[in-house]
C-alpha cells in the first residue's frame, strides 16, 4: 500500500459510465464544432486557466463553433469569469455547456481541447476523436511522479500535448486528422479497464445491496 489507507472492498463490475456514454454517442459530429473543457486548479487565478481566452478568440476567428464546458468547481469558484465569457461572446458562435451530462457536447464536437482534465480520455476512447492538451508547468495531481498514471500512457499514444504557441501553429493540421484508430483505443481500454464495454448495472446493484 502506498499511503496506508483503509482497506477497501473492490467490486468487479466495470466502468459503468463508459458503457452509458458508448450507448448514447453518435458518429455524426459537426466537423466545425470544437469542445473546450478545462480542469480546475488552485494554481490558477480564479481556479480557471485563463489561457483559454486566447484559444476561444483563435477558434472564433476561424469561424469554428465553440462549446465551453466548465469544470463543476468553476461554478463555485469562477462564476464571475464564466459570466464574463458569456457576455463577451454572446453575439458569436459560442456556447457555455451547463449540462450535467457530456453526451450532447460529445456528439456535436470534432475535437476536444483541455489543459489536464480527465474528460479528454473519455472523449477520445468513446468518440474515437483526438484530444489536445495545452501544456502547463502546473499540474493538478498531487501524487508521486514515480507512479505511471494511465493518463500519461494515454497522452503518449493518442493525444497531442502542445504549448499555447504551438497550438496556434499546428491546430489546423491536427484537426484535419481528428479520427483515431478504434482498434488501438479498444486495446488500450481493455488493458486498463475491467470488463470494458460489458459492465452490467444489475450486477453492480446486486453487489452493493449485498454489502
Position 13 in a domain: no
Beta bridge partners of 33: 65
pTM: 0.87
For residues 125 and 49, the model is more confident at 125
Give me the count of residues in the chain: 211
Is 160 in contact with 132 (CB distance < 8 Å)?
yes
Of 193, 122, 191, nearest in space to 159 by CA: 122
pLDDT of residue 60: 97
Beta bridge partners of 36: 68, 113
Q: Rounded to 5 degrees, what are φ and ψ at 111?
A: -160, 155
Domain, as residue range, for 158: 33-136+147-203
What CATH number should be reported for the domain holding residue 78?
Answer: 3.40.50.2000
Mean pLDDT score, 64-81: 92
pLDDT tens-digit readout, 15-46: 888 888 988 998 899 999 999 999 988 877 77
Position 10 in a domain: no
Domain count within the chain = 1
Position 106 in a domain: yes
Is 85 in contact with 56 (CB distance < 8 Å)?
yes
Q: How confident is the model at residue 65 (pLDDT cuts 50, 70, 90)?
A: very high
Position 156 in a domain: yes
Asked if the model's pLDDT at residue 141 lies above 80, the reply is no
Position 211 in a domain: no
Mean pLDDT score, 95-115: 95
Amino acid at each position: 500500500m502506498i499511503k496506508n489507507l483503509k482497506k477497501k472492498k473492490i467490486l468487479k463490475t466495470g466502468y459503468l459510465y463508459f458503457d452509458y456514454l458508448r450507448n448514447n454517442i453518435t458518429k455524426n459530429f459537426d466537423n466545425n464544432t470544437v469542445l473546450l473543457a478545462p480542469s480546475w486548479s488552485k494554481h490558477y487565478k480564479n481556479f480557471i486557466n485563463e489561457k483559454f481566452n486566447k484559444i476561444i478568440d483563435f477558434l472564433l476567428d476561424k469561424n469554428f463553433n465553440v462549446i465551453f464546458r466548465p469544470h463543476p468547481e468553476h461554478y463555485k469558484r469562477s462564476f464571475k469569469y464564466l459570466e464574463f465569457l458569456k457576455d463577451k461572446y454572446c453575439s458569436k458562435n459560442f456556447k457555455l455547456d451547463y449540462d450535467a451530462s457530456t453526451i450532447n457536447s460529445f456528439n456535436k464536437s470534432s475535437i476536444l481541447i483541455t489543459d489536464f482534465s480527465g474528460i479528454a480520455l473519455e472523449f477520445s476512447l468513446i468518440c474515437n476523436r483526438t484530444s489536445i492538451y495545452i501544456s502547463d508547468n502546473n499540474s493538478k495531481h498531487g501524487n508521486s511522479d514515480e507512479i505511471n498514471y494511465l493518463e500519461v500512457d494515454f497522452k503518449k499514444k493518442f493525444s497531442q500535448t502542445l504549448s499555447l504557441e504551438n497550438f496556434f501553429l499546428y491546430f489546423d493540421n491536427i484537426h484535419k486528422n481528428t479520427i483515431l484508430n478504434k482498434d488501438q483505443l479498444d486495446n488500450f481500454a481493455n488493458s486498463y479497464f475491467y470488463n470494458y464495454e460489458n459492465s452490467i448495472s444489475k450486477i453492480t446493484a446486486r453487489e452493493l445491496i449485498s454489502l
